[in-house]
Structure 1
Amino acid sequence: MDDDSRMARWERWADIPLAVASLVYLGSYAVQVLGEDSLPRLVLDLCLLVMLTSWALFVIDYAVRWRLSGEGARFVHRHWLDSVVVVLPLLRPVRVVRVYQAVQRRRGQAKASLQALVMMYASLSSLLLGFGAALSVYRFEHRAPGATIRTFGDSVWWVCSTLSTVGYGDVVPVTVPGRLVAIVLMGCGLALLGAVTGSFSSYLMQRFAREGDSGRPPGG
């Protein structure tokens, strides 16, 4: 019980600082990738230092929560997403949604419905994942022989068509790292699309059921 309260206190304390660190990490990575050919070496090295510092904060948070959980090796399996995110810190900005919930709790506001939270998580995750993927693919691809993704705009277009499951095929990654990013993006795109569609359908069904019980036509 005491361990649970200590874990809860730690998570409440760490939510906002880690969300800020996540966005700082993503911003530093963006500056490093997009300014690789134009910015002074000192600026790029500073961005790398900021990224490593932010990453260290994520590792410390993971280690503290592991210690407070008292679960030992089971913590890695039960919190597998956190474990993946420690290795792939570009996914960390999704924590911004937790800040929104923390602010709601502190103001005493009611929590959003499950469907609204799922749609909010999925939408924000799509934006952040897409931006991170566009940066990564651009970094791997724009100098590769035979590459079709030559500009950051090409990379953003490819991410949009991949996340939406359209996949025009006019620009595609040709490097192994770029294709690995594509595999992750395709899997996440299907999962996020399913989450949004399922939550929206559930919301509509619940609303129709409530309005049917009240005898009013839907939307009336």
Structure 2
Amino acid sequence: MTLERWQRLSEWPMVAAALLFLGAYSVQVIADLPDAEGAWADALVWAAWAVFVLDYGVRLWLAPSRGRWFLYNLHELAILALPALRPLRLLRLVTLLKVVHSRAGSALRGRLLLYVLGSASMLIYCGALAALDAEQNDPQANIRTFGDALWWALTTITTVGYGDHYPITVVGRFAAAGLMVAGIAVLGVVTASIASWLVESVSAQTAAKTAERTAAALDAIDEPLEQQIRALSEQVARLTAALEARGPRG
């Protein structure tokens, strides 16, 4: 078993675990269930967490250079080792974005558009969940419902920032910082994609017009040449006929 083979085999099971985690975590946060009523959701969260830990351990074991792989994936270890910071758990949903990217199709622009839309939607939803989880039980917080959290996440990721809702807790502000950085990155990709599309469209139109003009110019040149060649052919034919008519000289 190689690392690449394990990653291929575990791709969809990890997606299922991520979706299970997202659903259970969403119920925990949005419904704000007491410990007794939310025991089942907490059990599902920890079951998904166990799958993440297993996947991390197997990938570390199968890595060709474990020391290098460990250093390059310290962020995953931090996420797994700090379960008390519940919003950090949402970073495990990057698994979903990887699958969306790999299944987005063969056309580069289609893959880019689908990946950006999927990433933006996931960031808005997860950012709203993270902020609500951190803020809703603080008596001084102004993000108290999931609707408030979604509105805040949308205005934050688009860099609008109305200021009517904002996080006041440390964890909530860290979530806001991550969402702002991610929003700039997503908007940058969208802007670059639109600019690339416009440049390609203008280039295609310019190339088409240039081809038409070139073809017209060649037609204008070809017509006189054809007439000249036809006239020369007729002269050669007449001279040949005249020589044949005179016959050989004695």
**TM-score scaled to structure 2, two decimals?**
0.70
Shift of 1:207: 4.5
Shift of 1:78: 4.0
Q: Is the 8 A contact 2:100 2:118 kept in 1?
A: no
**Which residue is 1:96 aligned to?**
96
Q: What's the RMSD between the two structures over aligned residues?
A: 2.8
CA 1:99–1:178: 2 relative to 1, 3 Å:
closer
Shift of 1:89: 3.1
**Which residue is 2:20 aligned to?**
24
Instruction: After superposition, give the CA deviation of every residue in 1:133-185 in whole Å (9 maximum; x if it has no partner).
Output: 21221122223232221221111111110011000001111112211111111
Instruction: Write the letter of the residue equivalent to 1:89.
Output: R
Q: Is the 8 A contact 1:32 1:48 kept in 2?
A: yes
Distance, in Å, in 2 between the alignment partners of 1:118 and 1:206 is: 16
Instruction: Write the letter of the residue equivalent to 2:172.
Output: G
Instruction: Write the letter of the residue equivalent to 1:95.
Output: T
Distance, in Å, in 2 between the alignment partners of 1:206 and 1:101 is: 23
CA 1:102–1:176: 2 relative to 1, 3 Å:
closer
**Which residue is 1:162 aligned to?**
156
**Which residue is 2:182 aligned to?**
188
**TM-score scaled to structure 1, two decimals?**
0.79
Moved more, 116-125 or 77-86: 77-86
Query: Aligned residues: percent identity?
Result: 34
Q: Is the 8 A contact 2:127 2:175 kept in 1?
A: yes
- Please identify the structure whose Cα radius of gyration is greater: 2
Q: Is the 8 A contact 1:142 1:151 kept in 2?
A: yes
Instruction: After superposition, give the CA deviation of every residue in 1:32-76 in whole Å (9 maximum; x if it has no partner).
Output: 112224x7824x111111111112212222222232221222214
Structure 1: stretches of 5+ with no match in the other structure: 105-110
Among 93, 100, 115, the residue aligned to 1:121: 115
Distance, in Å, in 2 between the alignment partners of 1:79 and 1:118 is: 25
Q: Is the 8 A contact 2:156 2:179 kept in 1?
A: yes
Q: How does 1:1-220 map to 2 (within 5 A)?
A: 6-37=2-33, 41-42=36-37, 44-79=38-73, 86=80, 88-100=88-100, 111-215=105-209
Please give the secondary structure, in 2, of the residue aligned with 1:41: coil
Q: Is the 8 A contact 2:97 2:119 kept in 1?
A: no
CA 1:206–1:73: 2 relative to 1, 3 Å:
farther
Distance, in Å, in 2 between the alignment partners of 1:85 and 1:125 is: 20
Q: Is the 8 A contact 2:130 2:172 kept in 1?
A: yes
Instruction: After superposition, give the CA deviation of every residue in 1:88-122 in whole Å (9 maximum; x if it has no partner).
Output: 33133343344456668xxxxxx423343233222
Higher RCO, 1 or 2 (CA under 8 Å, sep at least 6)? 1
Distance, in Å, in 1 between the alignment partners of 2:77 and 2:200 is: 35
Moved more, 116-125 or 94-103: 94-103
